Amino acid sequence: MSIESSRLFIAIPIDEQWRQQLTQQMTRLQPKLPFQKWTHPEDYHITLKFLGDTSVEQYERLSKLLTHVAETTQPFQLTLTEWGTFGPHASPSILWAGVGGDLLPLMNLQQYIDNSMTELGFLKENRDFHPHLTIARRYKGDSIPFSITNLVPHVSESTLYKSVNEFKLYESHLQKTPMYEPIASFTFSK
């Protein structure tokens, strides 16, 4: 973490099996879908809360608060599900892989974190939580509008379940690849 402040977010890391499966599917998709930026496989995660610029003073309190959240959370299971987009249908801003499984504990964890962060001066999220992994950004197929139906033959739902027993605090390094560095882990204690 830098001396004055860092750009931070809280997320669930993914395991190597998910990373491999997503990388295989991404490799098949890249030649067919002209997105401007594809997520580096080491950067896959499920965002729980984006914090943005965080001071050293906030970080110390943040760490204590997140430890408490983790201590009161039980492990749960997730799996990869459907693929989708955010933004205009013909020219989406985000291509994502969705998650399924034990969604209620995931939603509760996200809400708990979001509510807890107001104590540190972070604003509550004003959008509904849609758990996903960002695969690509900024569709650039000007001559060919994007179609989710063209995507379906190239991707498949996962039968891999991931046991979620921690979340991490990440620092963004916008000019590096991979760009997200885990700086703290918070393991569930129940």
Which entry of 130, 132, 154, 173 is annotated as an active-site residue? Answer: 132
Collapse the DSSP code of 37 into the 3-class scheme (helix H, G, I; strand E, B; otherwise coil) and give the result.
strand
Q: How many CB atoms lie within 10 A of CB 75?
A: 14
Element (H, E) at 95: strand 94-101
45 noted as active-site residue: yes
Closest C-alpha among 184, 180, 189 to residue 42: 180
Q: Is residue 40 annotated as a catalytic residue, yes or no?
A: no
List 48's β-bridge partners, or say none: none
Main-chain dihedrals φ then ψ at residue 81, nearest 5 degrees: -125, -125
45, 68, 130, 154: the catalytic one is: 45
Spatial CA neighbour of 45 closest among 123, 131, 116:
131
- Which residues lie across from 77 on neighbouring strands? 163
Catalytic residue numbers read: 45, 132
